């Protein structure tokens, strides 16, 4: 029995620079800021809560910490590139000119970083 089954998750991201993160998640990515206090900024990610927590020091992880499932990766990558986001290139992955990797079938994924170096992704699979 799980008391969490059917409940929405809460996601967390750390930031060293509160105002830069606020601009990135709010203005650049377009998520509404729904609450802010001394401990976090809370954004609405289509019904899922993202808490961006200021920390004076932290080390970003070397793996994806947050991603979005999208219908058309190439279109989203172009839109984000137009907004100034740079997509990551990883050694050993055959990525196209936009940084999109196709591991097989119709699956596509691309990665980018937030201003603190957290790795984020968009994918269709």
Based on the fold, state whether residues 81 and 117 are members of the same structural domain: yes
Task: Give a yes or no: residue 2 inside a domain.
Answer: no
Parallel, antiparallel, or unpaired for β 10-15 and 33-36?
Answer: unpaired
Which two tokens mark 44? 């609405």
| pLDDT by residue, tens only, the chain of 125 residues | 578 988 999 999 999 999 999 999 999 999 999 999 999 999 999 999 999 999 999 999 999 999 999 999 999 999 999 999 999 999 999 999 999 999 988 999 999 999 999 999 999 98
Task: Give a yes or no: residue 46 inside a domain.
Answer: yes
Q: By residue range, what is the domain housing residue 73? A: 64-123
How many other C-beta atoms are found inside a 10 Å radius of the C-beta of residue 51? 15
Task: Give a yes or no: residue 102 inside a domain.
Answer: yes
Which two tokens mark 52? 């961006």
């Amino acid at each position: 029995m799980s008391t969490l089954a059917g409940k929405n998750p809460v996601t967390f991201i750390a930031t060293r620079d509160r105002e830069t993160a606020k601009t990135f998640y709010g203005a650049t990515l377009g998520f509404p800021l729904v609450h802010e206090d001394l401990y976090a900024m809370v954004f609405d990610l289509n019904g899922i809560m993202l808490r961006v927590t200021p920390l004076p020091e932290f080390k970003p992880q070397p793996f994806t910490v947050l991603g979005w499932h999208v219908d058309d990766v190439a279109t989203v990558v172009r839109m984000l590139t137009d907004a100034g986001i740079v997509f990551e290139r990883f050694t050993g992955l055959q990525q196209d000119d936009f940084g999109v990797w196709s591991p097989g079938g119709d699956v596509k994924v691309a990665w980018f970083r937030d201003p603190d170096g957290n790795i984020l992704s968009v994918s269709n699979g």
